[in-house]
Structure formats: structure tokens, C-alpha cells
Structure 1
């Protein structure tokens, strides 16, 4: 056992933990065969692009939430972006705009479903 500056060191045989060893495969110069049904890169990219319907619904949702935020948060009038009177008008307008936006979102999603069936 080895002691350095008042500390006690444990013999190294007790510290070793036996880990399972990974089996190594022999090196190969050949490329692994890819399955022939691998999707081309173009299909992969096109799956990442959201549909126009989804973008339209997201835009309408952000528009409606903007009315709610501007009318009810109080942050915009506190920093001077809108006056207190404008905030009250936005609060009243939110009662009209938000239901219209919900109706528009539902109609956009039902239009998409109807076109998928044909």
C-alpha cells in the first residue's frame, strides 16, 4: 500500500473493473452491400418539408395567439408599443378574431382531408 501526504491509496488490483471486450471484426476493403430498397436522398428531403396546409394552419394560429398576447398580457402597453386604449380594443377584437381563426384552421384541415380521398 502506498501513502502520499496523509492519503491512503488502494492497491491497483482492487480498482480494476473487468469490462466485456468488444469483438473486433477483421478489416475489409469491400464496402458493405446496401439494400436496394434504400430511399433516395430526394425523398428524404421532401419528407422534411412541411405541407402548405400545415404552414397555413400554423400561420393562422400564430396570428390568433398574437391577438391574445397583445390584448391580455399587458407587456406591450408597459413597454410603450401600444397604448392602454389600443390594448382594450385588441382585447375586444380577440373575441372575434380567435373564433374566426379556429374556424379557418378547422376548414383548412378538412379541405386537406377531402382532397386526400379523391
Structure 2
């Protein structure tokens, strides 16, 4: 039960009909709400992201991963990769990062996002 100022309302977390009373100057009005029916073939969480944007994001993360692995020094310091592998990633970043930038800007835009 939540008490705020003069009003007192009870919050129900059920799937049944719930009534909310709204006080007015001339009386009270009651509003009934129904729970939405879910369609079986429709996804629960519908997020409209275009395939082009998703691909651009993945390519950008790949390029940033090469920069992080090659130039941060953290990966060789904690023993995940050797210092020789880090130097190789640093050199490979000069090729991979411009290629990733080219791919990001060359992918076509989806009009049905």
C-alpha cells in the first residue's frame, strides 16, 4: 500500500483486471484496465534493429578489439597473450582497422529499420 498526500492506492501485481480510482471535484471515476493478450508467433521483446546497423556495430567492435589488444599492454601483462603476439596485433591493427572503417562506410543503408 502506498500513501501519498491525501490519496491512498493499492498496487496489485496480478494479471487480473485492476481498478484505479481517480478523485475529481465532482465525484470519483473508475478506470478498468485489461492485460494485453500475447500472440503466440510474435516475439516477446521486439527490437527493430536493421541488419546493416548490427553488422556495422560488429565490425566496429572487431576493429576496437584489435586496437585494445595491440596497444593497451594489459593482455600481455596479465598473461593472456605473449608480448610477441601483442606486437603482431599492433602491426595487424594497421591493416585491420582501416579495413573495418572501409566496411562500416561501404555497407548499404537499410530503409526498413
The TM-score by the shorter chain falls in which range? 0.5 to 0.7
Match of 1:69 in 2: 68
Match of 1:97 in 2: 96
Give the structure with the higher percent strand. 2
How far 1:89 sits from its partner (Å)? 0.4
Alpha-carbon distance between aligned partners in 1 of 2:30 and 2:105, rounded to the nearest angstrom = 57
Give the structure with the higher percent helix. 1
Alpha-carbon distance between aligned partners in 2 of 1:86 and 1:75, rounded to the nearest angstrom = 12
Other structure's SS at 2:95 match:
helix
- For structure 1, list consecutive stretches of 5 or more residues without a partner in the other structure: 1-20, 33-41
1:79 aligns with 2:78: yes
Match of 1:55 in 2: 54
How far 1:70 sits from its partner (Å)? 0.3
Match of 1:28 in 2: 29
1:112 aligns with 2:109: yes
Other structure's SS at 1:28 match:
strand
TM-score normalised according to structure 2 size = 0.61
- For structure 2, list consecutive stretches of 5 or more residues without a partner in the other structure: 1-5, 7-22, 34-41
TM-score normalised according to structure 1 size = 0.58
Provide the aligned length of Structure 1 versus Structure 2. 79
Alpha-carbon distance between aligned partners in 2 of 1:85 and 1:74, rounded to the nearest angstrom = 11
Alpha-carbon distance between aligned partners in 1 of 2:31 and 2:63, rounded to the nearest angstrom = 58
Alpha-carbon distance between aligned partners in 1 of 2:30 and 2:54, rounded to the nearest angstrom = 47
Alpha-carbon distance between aligned partners in 1 of 2:72 and 2:31, rounded to the nearest angstrom = 63
Output one character per residue of 1:42-80: Cα deviation in whole Å (capped at 9) or x when no partner: 7xx64x331111111110000000000000000000011
How far 1:30 sits from its partner (Å)? 5.3
